[in-house]
Structure 1
């Protein structure tokens, strides 16, 4: 499927938000995710079904100063 991830088009085989994060190698407890402007909580990611052309924002904390 095609998704817009952090503003960039990506072709990824993923049925759920958790699948997408795994496929894109995002890991960690501190990720924030939104699909089409709706915040998706960590516990909902494994069952949150994605659709073709969903807009996904993935935010992770930055290190450094």
Structure 2
């Protein structure tokens, strides 16, 4: 994520250890079904949350989708 540490609110939040700590609160997340289903669940979650947190404005530096998880 190009700008992941450019905004104060998200600085240092989106690290692997933080993700694991959050996932620990939801033990069934990404752990049920086949390996393919589990991968799809995690990919869908990351895709949706990135989409919902991007600024998406046309004139954004580096394009409208470069700010996922930072808006």
Could you say whether these structures have the same fold, taking a TM-score greater than 0.5 normalized by the shorter chain as the test? no
Which structure shows the higher helix fraction?
2
Which structure shows the higher strand fraction?
1
Indicate the structure whose relative CO is greater, using CA pairs within 8 Å and at least 6 residues apart: 1
Compute the TM-score of the two structures, normalised by the length of structure 1.
0.24
Larger Rg: 2
